């Protein structure tokens, strides 16, 4: 289902799952009206895109009244064919919107490999970061699309894999926070991200995993050599983080069963081993 988002009645943008950042409608001062509209086939959107293209005297870089270039529409709503026509006509493959969004970021978020490969052919900048500091790899790390994640790691420059966002989160922090075990393993084996890298809050990926209650991933990081004692900037240690999560969720499933034992365990390694046995 497509969504039409009208902001203050004078700025139009459409929001598709995983395509437009939540920050489009995040500011509390912005009045937002969301209206559900019928789903339209990509081929129909192509006709609309071609119509705008002709009305603009075949200007491939035409920007509509809402500040959106035709190429964005083609990637978000149309087919690869409309995107190719615009690019071959000279559309800017590296246009950056007020959000910091680019054609490459939109194509990667959509997961459409045809559009991704098309933009690669037209030398799209694959290292672009949006206003939150997230690049294409960051978004795929959060989405957990491990196959695409693996593909991008082999096609993006090394600096993209090592880049951090506004909060200092690395790819490893993001795969951990979003509980994507396979992508976390890929980070450990296919990148040079330091396993003990800390974000602006002083959190390592290991500590982040424990705060989120992702104990399986935490154990993987521990076995991969993560420092299991590093606290964050507030002094919260991994053991404190794990116990705090368990206490908070002590009425949910197996965590409640290990709570009595957890209270008497003094080190995080033993606690994670205990949880692993409980899950076996």
Express each pLDDT in 143-198 by its tens digit. Answer: 999 999 999 998 877 889 999 999 999 999 999 999 999 999 999 999 999 999 99
Give CA–CA dist 265/41, Å, rounded: 57
pLDDT of residue 264: 60
DSSP-assigned states of every residue in 224-273: TT--SS---TT---HHHHHHHHHHHTTTSTHHHHHHHHHHH--SHHHHHH
Burial class, 57, CB count within 10 angstroms (exposed 0-12 / middle 13-18 / buried 19+): exposed
**The pLDDT of residue 87:** 98
Q: Which residues contact 263 (CB under 8 A, 6 or more apart)?
A: 243
DSSP state of 25: S
For residue 10, the model assigns a pLDDT of 36
Whole-model pTM: value is: 0.80
Positions of the chain with pLDDT lower than 70, given as ranges: 1-38, 249-265, 279-280
212 φ/ψ angles, rounded to the nearest 5 degrees:
-85, -5
- Per the DSSP assignment, residues forming a β-bridge with 148 are none
Report whether 161 contacts 173 (CB < 8 A): no
Give bridge partners of residue 3 from the DSSP assignment.
Answer: 15, 36
Q: What share of the chain is helix, strand, coil (3-state, %, to 5)?
A: 50, 5, 45
Residue pointed to by tokens 């009645």: 9
Distance of CA 127 to the CA centre of its chain: 14
> What is the pLDDT at residue 4?
42
Name the average pLDDT for the chain: 84
> For residue 218, which of 165, 181, 191 has the smallest C-alpha distance?
181
The pLDDT score that the predictor gives to residue 66 is: 84
pLDDT tens per residue, range 251-266: 554 555 555 555 566 7
**pLDDT in the model for residue 246:** 82
CB-based contacts of 159, cutoff 8 Å, min separation 6: 127
């Amino acid at each position: 289902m497509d969504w039409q988002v009208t902001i203050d009645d004078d700025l139009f943008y459409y929001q598709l799952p995983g395509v437009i950042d939540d920050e489009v409608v995040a500011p509390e001062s912005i009045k937002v009206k969301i209206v559900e509209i019928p789903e339209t086939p990509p081929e129909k959107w192509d006709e609309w895109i071609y119509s705008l293209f002709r009305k603009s005297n075949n200007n491939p870089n035409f920007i509509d009244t809402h500040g959106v270039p035709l190429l964005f529409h083609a990637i978000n709503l149309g087919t690869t064919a409309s995107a190719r026509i615009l690019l071959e006509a000279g559309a800017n493959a590296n246009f950056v919107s007020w959000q910091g969004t680019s054609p490459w970021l939109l194509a990667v978020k959509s997961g459409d490999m045809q559009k991704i490969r098309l933009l690669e052919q037209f030398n799209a900048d694959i290292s672009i970061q949006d206003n939150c500091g997230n690049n294409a790899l960051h978004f795929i790390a959060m989405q957990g699309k491990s196959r695409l994640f693996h593909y991008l790691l082999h096609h993006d420059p090394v600096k993209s894999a090592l880049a951090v966002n506004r909060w200092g989160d690395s790819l490893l922090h993001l795969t951990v926070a979003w509980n994507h075990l396979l992508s976390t393993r890929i980070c450990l084996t296919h990148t040079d991200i330091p396993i003990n890298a800390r974000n602006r809050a002083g959190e390592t990926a290991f500590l982040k995993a424990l705060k989120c209650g992702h104990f399986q991933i935490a154990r993987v990081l521990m076995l991969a050599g993560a420092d299991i004692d590093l606290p964050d900037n507030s002094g919260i240690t991994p053991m404190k983080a794990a116990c705090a999560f368990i206490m908070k969720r002590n009425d949910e499933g197996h965590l409640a069963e290990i709570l009595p034992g957890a209270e008497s365990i003094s080190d995080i390694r033993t606690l994670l081993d205990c949880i692993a046995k409980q899950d076996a």
